[in-house]
Amino acid sequence: MAVWRKYFGPDALIFGIDIDQRCAVFDGHAGADRIGSQDDPKFLNSIVKEMGGLDVVIDVGSHKAKHRLAGFELLFPLLADGGIYICEDPHASYWPDY
């Protein structure tokens, strides 16, 4: 999140989502960190509500196609007009481990 804080600036509202409980220690450093799964609709909707909407989504999630698709199907329609949805490392979805 520190990279995105530097890129978007001090006034940006930045939320990171991770399934790993250990990431909770980063909450408040460069943004808000929430613990949950990107394929949990109830969780994602609660984050979008907390944020007050979405302008940018950067999916750096599990790299599993089913997780990416679940997140996209829920979040893309919630983007503000002119918003942007980015998936990082889509090639990893084809690796045997994912």
Six-digit token pair at 84?
């942007």
Six-digit token pair at 9?
């600036």
Mean pLDDT, residues 2-8 taken together: 93
Beta bridge partners of 79: 54
What pTM was estimated for this model as a whole?
0.83
Length of the chain: 98
Query: Per residue in 17-70, pLDDT tens?
Result: 999 999 999 999 999 999 999 889 999 999 999 999 999 999 987 778 888 889
Domains of the chain: 2-94 (3.40.50.150)
> Nearest 5°: phi and psi at 56?
-140, 135
